[in-house]
Amino acid sequence: MRVTLLGTGTSSGVPAIGCDCAVCRSDDPRDRRTRPSILIDLGDDADRAVSVPFAAAARYILIDTAPDLRAQALAHGVRRVDAIAFTHSHADHVLGLDEVRRYNFMQGTAIPCFGDAATLGDLRRVFSYIFDGRTRAGGGIPRLSLFEIGGAFSLGGVDFVPVPVMHGPMPILGYRVGAFAYLTDCSQIPASSWPLLAGVRTLVLDALRDRPHATHFSVAEALQVVERLGPERAYFTHISHDLPHAATCARLPPGVELAYDGLILEVS
Ligand SMILES: [Zn+2]
Ligand SMILES: [Zn+2]
Ligand SMILES: [Zn+2]
């Protein structure tokens, strides 16, 4: 399977509006970071079964709908989305939800969306126009089917394992798929979640900046997680403008680097 890092920036994006720092003015394209999201392509051999009452084939799974979803889809050629799994409902992870109308139109189906109870509740409230059942003239609204996550679920014949993590005081979800794990927005991994991550070979993990932060791992804290889990490769995401790509990668240990928008990971 193939994972595309659609967005690797923190909530403000990089460059940040009105900032003249060296990273925000950098001409290295890897220093331009849109809001966090990934696309998982399960590949041709997925058996196309979905563990929900849908005829939809499941090959392309989007994790979160960032405010930059439209630009990300255009930049990275995302032509199909079969399901969406949400990590949590913060604005930088959900505000692109309306953009999935294009996929409804092209695919002719509703899109199944998976999230925990708190996330789905927030989606119903923030996007009340999608869920209030009223018919509107013109325009159109996304067609979505919400499924509350109660444990691992299967998409395209592949198990998606929710991994509870703490984002400051807020419990949110990461995901493990095979030997790959995606833990965005994380400041602590609870004891009960470490076993869910055992044997992960490719890890994408929150590392906001060097200075500590109340709701995100710093680079040093993220490196401690990498050391404990021992993946073959680790990529840091949700990156602020404090971290220039090239200079930061140069000081990270072997097998660890900053992710960047458009990075493609081949994982088993
Ligand atoms: Zn800046
Ligand atoms: Zn968040
Ligand atoms: Zn975030």
- What does the alpha-carbon distance between residue 235 and residue 255 come to, in Å, rounded to a whole number? 8
Q: Is the bond preceding 15 in cis, omega lying within 30 degrees of 0?
A: yes
> Which ligand is in closest contact with the Cα of 26?
1
User: What does the pLDDT look like over 157-172, one tens digit per residue?
Assistant: 899 999 999 999 999 9
CA of 209 to the centre of ligand 2 (A): 15
Cβ atoms of residues 60 and 87 within 8 Å: no
Asked if residue 256 lies in contact with residue 248, where contact means CB atoms within 8 angstroms, the answer is no
13 C-alpha to center of ligand 1: Å? 9
pLDDT per residue as tens digits for the range 153-209 = 999 889 999 999 999 999 999 999 999 999 999 999 999 999 999 999 999 999 999
Contact 57, 156 (CB under 8 A): yes
Q: What pLDDT, on a 0 to 100 scale, did the predictor assign at position 57? A: 62
Residue with tokens 């940040």: 16
Q: Ligand 3 centre and the CA of 92: distance in Å?
A: 5
- Ligand 1 centroid vs 34 CA: distance in angstroms? 13
CA of 26 to the centre of ligand 1 (A): 9
Digits of tens for pLDDT over the chain (268 positions)?
999 999 999 999 999 999 999 999 999 999 999 999 999 999 976 555 554 444 346 899 999 999 999 999 999 999 999 999 999 999 999 999 999 999 999 999 999 999 999 999 999 999 999 999 887 767 689 999 999 999 999 998 899 999 999 999 999 999 999 999 999 999 999 999 999 999 999 999 999 999 999 999 999 999 999 999 999 999 999 999 999 999 999 999 999 999 999 999 999 8
| Ligand 3 midpoint to CA 136 (Å) | 32
Structure tokens at 145: 């089917």
CA of residue 140 to ligand 2 center, whole Å? 28
Helix, strand, coil shares of the chain, percent, nearest 5, are 25, 30, 50
Closest CA to 97 of 118, 53, 128, 74: 128
Gap from CA of 12 to ligand 3 centroid (Å):
9
Whether the CB-CB separation of 92 and 66 falls below 8 Å is answered with yes
Q: Flag whether the pTM goes above 0.85.
A: yes
Ligand nearest to the CA of 214: 2
Question: 26: which 2 tokens?
Answer: 């950098």
Give me the numbers of helices (H) and strands (E) for the chain, helices first please: 8, 14
Distance 14 CA to ligand 1 centre (A): 7
Please tell me the number of the ligand nearest to residue 208's CA: 3
Q: Look up residue 174 and give its two tokens.
A: 């990461």
Pairing verdict, β 60-63 and 83-85: parallel
Ligand 1 centroid, distance to 222 Cα (angstroms): 22
What separation, in Å, do the N-terminal and C-terminal C-alpha atoms of the chain show?
6
pLDDT at 46: 55
How far apart (Å, rounded) are the C-alpha atoms in residues 238 and 84?
19
Q: Distance from the CA of 173 to the center of ligand 1, in angstroms?
A: 28
Ligand nearest to the CA of 22: 1
Q: For position 157, what pLDDT does the model report?
A: 87
**What is the Cα–Cα distance from 174 to 63, expressed in whole angstroms?**
10
Can you give the pLDDT at residue 55?
39
Q: Tell how far the Cα of 244 is from the centroid of ligand 1, in angstroms.
A: 10
Q: Which residues of 121-150 are buried (b: 16+ CB within 10 A; e: fewer)?
A: ebbeeebeebbeeeeeeeeebbbbebbebe
